[in-house]
Structure 1
Amino acid sequence: MSRYLLFSLLVFTGLFSSVAYADNKKGEEAYENGNYEVALVEFTKAAEAGDADAQYNLGVMYEHGHGVEQDEVQAAEWYIMAADNGHPEASLALSLLYEDF
């Protein structure tokens, strides 16, 4: 692989992950202010880009019905994705969710 191609790939990956992080931060701010509609949009963008925090946050939204129809199956799917991506609390949240099934 050429140095230029490798450099381009690293820059693109870094930019992409920082965009996801920014979307998650915007989502967290909106969520804290009770603006669940904006939080949902921002978390979804970041989660689809692979942001484990955003995936976890979507799990919370679906588990508790904040801004979305409460849906434990959707919550579990987001928690699983977050856990697979290394989120430290997602596995516990998933196991607690399963206790309620």
Structure 2
Amino acid sequence: MGLPRWNLSNKNERLFRIIVLTIVSFVLVYEKIYGSSSTQYAAMYLCVFSLVGTFLSNAVQKRYFTSVMEYAQVFRIVALLMMLCFLIIWVYVTIERVSQASLLTGIV
């Protein structure tokens, strides 16, 4: 029994990549328009881990990491888990910042 392995088809890999990069693009645009220093680091780490998690696809692993493919897959899974964690942190901090701003201005 080897390490974890995802055998997604090329179509599913492409759909996954599109969804993840769309979410990251939304976060970056939101940070550009409404961002503050409290949410900046979570968004930055989200972007870094999403690039590793999405572009280390099965085709890339088969081409460049043939001898250590299982380890590259684990690296990808960890990057995606970290991306998910930083997305949750970013959402939480953003909601807290918006709710505090609305309380300060009197809008509930």
Calculate the TM-score normalised by the size of structure 1.
0.33
Calculate the TM-score normalised by the size of structure 2.
0.32
